[in-house]
Every structure is written in C-alpha cells, then in structure tokens.
Chains A and B, each alone.
Chain A
C-alpha cells in the first residue's frame, strides 16, 4: 500500500489538520507529564466504573464532536453560499456531509444524551450506580474508540463519502472504492455494541434498582424516557449491527447482499438501515423530551401536567417508531398500498407528540416561570420543534412527499426536529445539571447570550431551507448553477449558520469562564429541584446517597421538602456501603477493538486477528475475575457527609 493511499495527501487543509493532531497529542502528553497526572488519569478516569464520571466523559466527547460536526456544517454552508463556489470540490464536500451527519447523530447526540442519562438516572432513582458498572465503562470506551476510528479517517485513508445513510450500490466497492466506507461499517459497529450494552444496562437499572417506594408511576419523567429509550435501543440496534455486518461482508469479502450482481438487492440495505434508523431518531428525541419535562416542571415550580398521559404517549411513540420506516423512501416504488399504510402510521406519531406539547404548555400555565438559561432552551424547544413537527406531518403524506423527498424541505424538517429537539435538550440539560456534575454553576449571562445567538441563528439558517426545497434544490448537492434563484436564501442560511457557530463559541467560553469564576453550588439544590438528584451534594459523593432514600410520592424530593425534613440522614442509619472496583480492562479491551477495527478497514487481517485474540483474552480474564468490590466504612461516610455539610 502506498503512503498516499494510507495518509490523505495533496490537501493543505488536511496537512494542517495532521499538524494540529500531532501537536495536540504532544501537548496532552506534555501537560500530563509535567503535572505528574498520569496516575491520576488512570486511577480517576481511565479505569473508573462510576456512572457520574463516565457520564462526564461521554459529554466531553460529545461537545468535541459537536465542534467537529459544526465545522463540517460551516464548511458546507461556505461552499453553498453562492453558485459554482470553488471552495470545496465534490469529493471533499461529499466526505464532509457524510461525516457531518454521522458524527452529529451517532457521536454527538447519542453520547450527549447517554452522558446525561449516566449522570442523572441513578441519582434520580436513589441508586448508587447502574446495574452493571463494568459494562457501563466498557460501553463508554467502545463508543470512544469507535468514534476515534471514524474521526481519523479524514487524515488516514479518507473519509466515507456515500452519505450517513450509505445507500447501496453507491456505498459498494465499485462506486466507493478505497477505505472510506469501510470506516463507516466498522467504526459504527464498534460504537454500536457499546450503545446496545447501555440499553441493557439502563433497562435493568431502572427496573430493579429504584429506591423503596418509587413505583414506576412515581419515577421522574426523564427516567421514564430513558426506560423506554433503552427498550428502543435493545430492539433497534441489533438490526443495525446486522446491516453493518452485511455491508462489511459485501465490501471486504465480496458477498452479494446489496450488490448489483448475482441476486443482490440494494433496496434491502435501505430497508434494514431505516428499520434501525427511524427508532434511532426516537432514541435521541425521547430522552430530550424527558429533559424538557424535568426543566419545565422545575422552573415553573409546578408538577408535570398529565403524568399518566405523558407516560402513555412515550410508550405510544416508541411503539409506533418501529412501524414507520418506509416513510424514508416513499419514492422507492413500494406501491400505493404500502405507502399509504406507512403514511398513516407516520402521521399517527404526531398524535402522542402533540399530547406532550399540550401537557408541557399546561404545566407552564398557572406556574411561576423562572427564565434561567436551561429554561430558555426548554421554552424555545416548544415553538421550534412544533414547526419541525408539522412539516413532518406534511412529509408523511406520501403523494406530497414525492415532491419533498431528498430536497432542502426535508433537510429543514429534520434539522428543526433534531436541533430544536435534541440539541436544545442537550444545552438545556447541561446547564441544568452542570452544578450536579461539577459543583459550580454555568454563568447565566453568558448562557443567555449563547442561547439567543444559537437559537436565532438556527432559525435564520434553516427556515429558508423549506423554501429552497420547494424551489427544487436537492440535498447533498456540492454546488448549484446560477440563475435558479436559490442564491439569496443560501446567503441567508449561511449567515444563520455563522451565528450558530458564534453561539457555540460563547457556550464554550462559558465553560472556561465558569470553571474559574463560576458560582459554587453549596447546597446541592441550586434550583429548588423536585427530584432525588438534588438531594445529594454537588458533586455527589462517590456512593451518591449515604442512606438509600424512602420515596413517598412523585417528585420525591419535593415531597420530602414539603414534609419539612428534606433528605436527612441520621448517623445511626449509616451502614458500610458496597462499591464496585475500578478496572482497566474496559479501556484496554476497547483499544483492542480499535486495532481490530483498523485492521478490518485496511484489510490487514493479521492485525485484526491478533487484536481479536486480545479481545477474547480480555473476556476470559473478566470471566475469571472474582473481584467483589470493596466496602466504604461508616467512618469514611461520616467524614464525607460532614465535609459536604460544612460547605453548605
């Protein structure tokens, strides 16, 4: 293999990226060595099985990926601002929109939400950790190394370029030679295994580890959404696992699943992809709904309106999400009967979603609405998401979709629901739970600036796209001709995108600024919260709760506060707490996965097999591992709790 096939050559931007990557690695190594933090890194982060730390790591990765995906977006917008722009050629544009989509959904939205799930859910149900902490760590590191594998593609070998949907025959070897789409098949497979494990982990955690008195119908809404999302993950991700495996076989071993020869059927890929793909978007939206429910309720100082209906609607949405997938390809000639069926099921999903919107509005009604940054993000979600939602109903009408499909109308729709839905929720959630994560608050002034810039920029960027679609502009075009009348709206869209970028920068600056000057959270309950996570210190002790709380009502902590005592612990109640041990194996096994994946991508099968042997070795060691964890003594608990209270 030639160097120029291994390293991406001939592009100044790529060379700059190479240099930046090398310098960053050197910088990190230098800082860690200079401050003698290697042991700290290993003990505290690389080997942790603590859900709170794992959650923070997920979110750090997600924010980095938001940056990368956002840069991709800005590059695309720059290229499309005016007709016949020569900023990016077709090949680069195609790689950039592919990585943009893949990164934003799989390496930004998923880890951000899974990170918040990790931090919050055990605390909300009064548990000390998830059901399978070791597996949890493995989930994170598999995600991390899968994402790393995907991300290096743009400097080593070349990025995938067939779209995040990777339709065949385009994604086959014949039309996408090179390793780009191998990265897609392999990296997503590795990360996907991590996600599947997360689904199993949280389902068991929520079913089996709730504090006494917390029946299912007394769970916080965020926990409910995580429960249902876990079920979605468990049933949807295996479909993607198979699809990616079949893609791998076609590309690496010459099978005929999706080929244009010998019985292959490219339509099969589209079906398998979307049978996973549609539940996937609900996997990223349901936890978002849960986050909004928490924040709206807290900052309206009012319990969530229509709890039962909210639970019912999540279940309804989850069920329906499995029977709508054909709406992603109404135009693939399925015939009017099939298209009609899926039109109806797709429109039906709008019904439980609408129920939720009204319940949120009525939660606000008669409340006392406090406009913190988290609340602003949550409030802005409502009108913006509804715009995305109603255009979704329009798209669901098959005969009309024949005009909307794959146009900018579609792009506008899904960005409205994904950004106003998921991204707003991520920002809202991080502002809301930040004190719980780090012990200090994010600055409200900066937070509001970031919000307004981003939210307004988002509307300016994507609203014109509805019209561009109706003007005949299709998605994934790297350029367009002059004289079509598309230019003015494209210029407007680019301006909006720039505003979003600035908003993101302000958000990042907020993180830095608050780390230095942020207001400390001394009580653990900065918002006068309603759910159990606010009963712990900020950040919580390693073991979360010194004594597992008894739950008597929905909004457990609110009830405790109303009944006078809040969450109080008498030292006589304390018992030694059993905690799981740290382990370096998840980290190391995942590195093996990375090399196995790398080997598969480049068809270096020896490397892949050797790495696979290490994976199996890791599993064998785990099997023989009878480490039973350790106990935190009552004395240590007393000391920790007294210290926390002293700070209050």
Chain B
C-alpha cells in the first residue's frame, strides 16, 4: 500500500485517480470473474436439470411471456440509466448523477417486485423449489440473480447517502463506478437467464 496509494494521477477520470482506487477497481473486475464462474456453475446446473421435472410442471407450463418481458425491460433500462449516471459523474454534475442513480435503483426495485410476484405466483400454482429438480435449479439460479440485484440496490442507497454527505470525491466516484460495473454485470447475467431459462423453456 504505502505512499503508492496516494500516487495521484490528474490525467485519469476521477474514479481512477488514486492508486487505491485503481487497485480496488482491478480487484472488482477480478471478483466479477469469480462471479462469472459462480453463475456459470448455476447455469450448468440448470441446463443439466431443467428437463427433469418429476411429477411437477414443466417450463412451458409455467413461464409467461408478459412477466418476463416486463422484468427484462425494467432491468435493461436500469442498466442504461446506470450508464447515464456515470456519464453525469464524468461531467461532474452531482444532481444528474444522483437522479439517474435513483432512477436505476427504482427500476431495479421494480424488477425485484415483479420477480417476487412471479415467484409467489408459481408457489401458488404448487410449483415450489421442492417440487422437482427443474424447479430447484430454476429458483436457485434466478433467485441468486435476484438476491444479487437486491444487494446492489442496497449498495446504491449507501452510495447515494455518502455522496450527499461528502460530495463527489475520488473515493465516492470510485464507489459509483464499481457499483455500476456490478449492475451492468447483473444485466448481462439476466440476458443469459432470459435466453437460456425463459426463452428456451417456453420453446422446448
């Protein structure tokens, strides 16, 4: 760490200026690599088990296009607004940053709301995670993604509070940047879920 952590580089964007920030951002990218391995395992599990429905319902019987499309729209839009937030941050416009961060968070909350409603709907239909291997893997894969999104929402709230308290500093800028990486990553994972879980399930 040492004095290197404060090797300040004025030429870089705010979030990259301190050595500590650069280390944190690299560390987070690597963490995302581990997350890729994690989700890859969950996907592999799903793909191995999704046709093993036992006496329970199949994907075709369960999934409905409308819900999934709404969730996708909400999450993808939130990824866009997250990009807008970082855009505003680069232009040092605090109010813009906060606004778009808030919108992102709300869209994310909307996504979670619809997802919870979807899960509850399935449970009411008798399709719980105990029903079959397909449903176990579905709920754990999609649920893990949802848990990650929920954590991201909480994290964004914390960051918004910190920005309100301390303004835009190299440190807070870094935090915004990292949570945006996280958010975009979850969006990419959702695209895979949408394709491999919902679309495939509704077709096969």
Contact = CB atoms under 8 A, between A and B. Distances in A.
Interface of A: 127-129, 131-133, 196, 199-201, 203-204, 207-209, 234-239, 241-243, 245-246, 249-250, 253-257, 259, 261-265, 268, 272, 275, 543, 548, 575-580, 616, 620, 623-624, 626, 629
A272 to B, nearest CB: 7
Contacts, number: 137
B30 A234 contact: yes
B52 A257 contact: no
Most buried by A among B2, B139, B171: B2
Contact of A242 (B42, B52, B162): B42
A238 B35 contact: yes
B136 A623 contact: no
Given A200-B27, A234-B37, A262 B54 contact: yes
Given A235-B37, A238-B41, A263 B52 contact: yes
A265 B48 contact: yes
A209 B22 CA distance: 11
Contacts of B35: 238
Given A238-B38, A543-B2, 10 more contacts: A208-B23, A235-B37, A250-B136, A257-B45, A257-B49, A257-B140, A262-B54, A264-B133, A548-B2, A623-B175
A200 B31 contact: yes
A129 B53 CA distance: 52
A344 to B, nearest CB: 23
Contacts of A250: 136
Interface in B163-196: 166, 171, 175
A129 B34 CA distance: 23
Nearest to B155: A623
Contacts of A208: 22-23, 26
A47 B100 CA distance: 39
B132 A578 contact: no
A253 B137 CA distance: 13
B16 to A, nearest CB: 13
Most chain A beta-carbon neighbours within 10 Å: one of B3, B5, B35, B136: B136
Chain B's interface size range is 35 or more
B52 A264 contact: yes
B193 to A, nearest CB: 15
Dominant secondary structure of chain B at its interface with chain A: helix
Contact of A256 (B31, B34, B130, B154): B130
Contacts of A239: 37-38, 41
B34 A132 contact: no
Interface of B: 1-6, 22-24, 26-27, 30-31, 33-35, 37-38, 41-42, 45, 48-49, 52-56, 129-137, 139-140, 154-155, 158-159, 162, 166, 171, 175
A621 to B, nearest CB: 10
Contacts of A580: 1
B41 A265 contact: no
Nearest to B5: A578
Contact of B49 (A253, A265, A623): A265
Most buried by A among B38, B135, B139, B175: B38
Nearest to B35: A238
Contacts of A254: 130
Contact of A246 (B5, B55, B140): B140
Q: Which of A129, A204, A209, A239 has the most CB of B within 10 A?
A: A204
Contact of B34 (A238, A261, A620): A238
A209 B34 contact: no
A204 B26 contact: yes
B151 to A, nearest CB: 9
A543 B3 CA distance: 11
Contact of A241 (B38, B132, B162, B171): B38
Contacts of B154: 616
Nearest to A623: B158
B22 to A, nearest CB: 7
A200 B30 CA distance: 6
Per CB-CB distance, the 9 closest pairs between chain A and chain B, nearest first, are: A263-B52, A262-B54, A263-B133, A238-B38, A255-B136, A238-B37, A242-B41, A128-B2, A263-B54
A131 B131 CA distance: 46
A257 B136 contact: yes
B100 to A, nearest CB: 20
Given A234-B34, A241-B38, A132 B27 contact: yes
